Amino acid sequence: MDERSEGRGRLITVLVAVIGVALSAVFFSMWLGARGIKAEEVSDYLDDEIEAATEVATKVVTAITTYDATTIEDRRTELLELSTGSFRQDYEALLEGGLGDALEDSAVESEGEIVDGPDVGFDSSDRALAVARVVQDVISRENPGGRTVFLVVRLGLVKENDGWKADSLKILSQQIL
């Protein structure tokens, strides 16, 4: 084989390789475009989910800050339906530890009002965080004049088959007046 034939063979090999890479890139790009998600689809999904997650966060934060001995069973039912994970376990432990009896013995009444939020942000399509500022007025037999508590709470939410549920709760700030 002469030098000229060898050069043509290499050139043809390089040319075939370049064309193959170019075609692969084109087909890969077309595949991504065909299966891709458009920005407006993401926006529509988040709009729907933020509304549902905010509704659950509002119910949970209100339920944990508005109660008395006569409504603890209603709150129990409501919160157990809206919770999962460590939030649910911690709440059940409080109930089993005599939360209802303690509220009744102390004649505790609490009324919470969300004054800011809940603001919801997503970690993923099935995990979110909600942050809310709450003013809670609490009266009891020992403190009939009451006290006001300012809270900033962070509620972790997870989407399960039947909707959003609270799975964690953290008090970020608490100030008692």
In tens, the pLDDT along 56-68 reads 999 999 999 998 8
Q: What is the pLDDT of residue 71?
A: 83
Asked if the model's pLDDT at residue 119 lies above 60, the reply is yes
Q: Which of 10-14, 112-116, 158-162 has the lowest mean pLDDT?
A: 10-14
pLDDT in tens, 12-44: 666 666 676 666 666 666 665 655 666 666 677
Q: Of 150 and 24, which is predicted with more confidence? A: 150
Which has more pLDDT, 115 or 97?
115
Q: Report the predicted TM-score, pTM, of the whole model to 2 decimal places.
A: 0.73
Residue-level pLDDT at 91: 86
CA distance 5 to 39: 53
- The contacts of residue 79 (CB under 8 Å, 6+ apart) are 60, 63, 64, 88, 91, 166
CA 104 → CA 38, 98, 108, 132, distances in Å? Answer: 55, 10, 7, 28
Separation of alpha carbons 157 and 164, rounded Å:
6
